[in-house]
């Protein structure tokens, strides 16, 4: 038995592959295009594992996906493959349309053809799990209730719009063709192997490098933070027991402003790796021009997944963020390898005062 994981060299995908193979002996076929955020170093511990089969390729390559499905005959497909950075989608939206919409369509077509040829228990137990985001729901005010699975889609960026489109495609393939699909919409993930263009790893890297810690606008934008291994356990739970055609919101029950997150990171770094001059990393905080269309607040109501599947996050933000900081402090070579010249140019372009 095996599963096919797409986007399994990225941040969440690689953590899922590591978590999956740490939990059981079922093989993983890992398909990843290795774009800028895909990194095989994330999977270095699996280099000699007979249960991990890596294939470099794109979900938009229908012939490749069909060949992998026919060769390995997985019992499930878990789709992480996506362009996922809002800032990049504002500067260059076309890549998001191609990967998140066209790519998902072609993946669905290949999976539908494969599933259509299955019989008996193989057909009955097959699953397609699509991993999405809370950003498809739009923005909340401070007093609005958290997003439930019934919240109307109101995406506000090219990224979230492309993910919303992919969610709709997955839903349509279930209702039109009967494809046994499941969808998860998660809140902001953090943890090991996070590419340092996102807030938490960027702040850690810049703090240790003596660089400014850029915060958009007034820093009061609110996000719900989910430790990545909690997300992995939620996906396992949905894959094992989720109702076909259903959506499950996955959140950490940890709403915090961006400024609170950065203050917390600075305070932990002050403890774990204090500066030689005795000053706080908070002194490096710099407020920069807000990005266009910046959603004010996201919040996930994860009641449904707890009620139906018994899942609840194991980490609080306090425990998860300290684990995250320590991982980055203990893995400076990983950070050095991913912070290339192109990364520095991107950061300089995006975070201008």
| Catalytic center residues | 134-135, 159
Cβ-contact 22, 29 below 8 angstroms: no
CA distance 239 to 128: 8
* DSSP sequence for 243-276: PTT-EEEE--S-EEEHHHHHHHHHHHHHHHS--T
Cβ proximity of 95 and 162 under 8 Å = no
Question: Which DSSP helix (H) or strand (E) runs through 127?
Answer: strand 127-133
Q: Is 152 exposed, middle or buried (0-12, 13-18, 19+ CB in 10 A)?
A: exposed
Contact 243, 308 (CB under 8 A): yes
Rounded CA gap, 83 and 274, in Å?
A: 35
Sheet with 52-56, side-by-side order of all strands? 52-56, 27-32, 2-6, 76-79, 127-133, 181-186, 247-250
Burial classification of residue 352, based on how many CB atoms lie within 10 Å of its CB (0-12 exposed, 13-18 middle, 19 or more buried): exposed
Alpha-helix residue ranges (DSSP H) falling in the chain:
11-23, 62-72, 86-91, 94-96, 104-116, 120-125, 158-177, 199-208, 228-241, 258-272, 303-309, 317-330, 332-338, 341-350
Cβ atoms within 10 A of the Cβ of 233, count?
18
Say how far apart CA 164 and CA 134 lie, in whole Å: 10
183: closest CA among 194, 199, 165, 167? 167
DSSP 180: -
Contact 26, 3 (CB under 8 A): yes
């Amino acid at each position: 038995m095996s599963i096919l994981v797409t986007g399994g060299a990225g941040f969440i995908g690689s953590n899922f592959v590591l978590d999956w193979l740490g939990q059981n002996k079922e093989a993983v076929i890992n398909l990843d295009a290795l774009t800028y955020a895909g990194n095989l170093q994330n999977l270095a511990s699996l280099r000699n594992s007979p249960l991990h089969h890596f294939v470099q390729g794109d979900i938009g390559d229908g012939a490749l996906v069909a060949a992998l499905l026919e060769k390995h005959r997985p019992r499930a497909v878990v789709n992480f493959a996506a362009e996922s950075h809002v800032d990049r989608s504002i500067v260059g939206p076309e890549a998001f349309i191609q990967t998140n919409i066209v790519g998902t369509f072609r993946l669905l077509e290949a999976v539908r053809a494969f599933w259509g040829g299955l019989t008996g228990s193989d057909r009955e137990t097959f699953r397609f799990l699509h991993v999405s985001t809370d950003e498809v729901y739009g923005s909340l005010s401070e007093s609005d209730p958290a997003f439930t699975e019934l919240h109307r889609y109101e995406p506000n960026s090219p990224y979230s719009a492309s993910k919303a489109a992919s969610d709709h495609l997955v839903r349509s393939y279930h209702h039109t063709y009967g494809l046994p699909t499941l969808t998860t919409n998660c809140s902001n993930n953090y943890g090991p192997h996070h590419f340092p263009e996102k807030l938490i790893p960027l702040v850690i890297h810049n703090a240790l490098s003596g660089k400014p810690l850029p915060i958009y606008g007034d820093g009061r934008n609110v996000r719900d933070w989910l430790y990545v291994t909690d997300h992995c356990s939620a996906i396992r739970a949905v894959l094992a027991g989720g109702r076909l055609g259903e959506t499950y919101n996955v959140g950490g029950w940890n709403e915090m402003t961006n400024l609170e997150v950065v203050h917390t990171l600075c305070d932990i770094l002050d403890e774990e790796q204090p500066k030689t001059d005795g000053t706080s990393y908070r002194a490096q905080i710099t407020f920069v021009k807000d990005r266009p269309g910046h959603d004010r607040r996201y919040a996930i109501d994860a009641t449904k997944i707890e009620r139906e599947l018994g899942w609840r996050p194991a980490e609080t933000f306090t425990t998860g963020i300290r684990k995250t900081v320590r991982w980055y402090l203990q893995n400076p070579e990983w950070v050095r390898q991913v912070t290339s010249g192109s990364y520095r140019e991107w950061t300089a372009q995006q975070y201008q005062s």
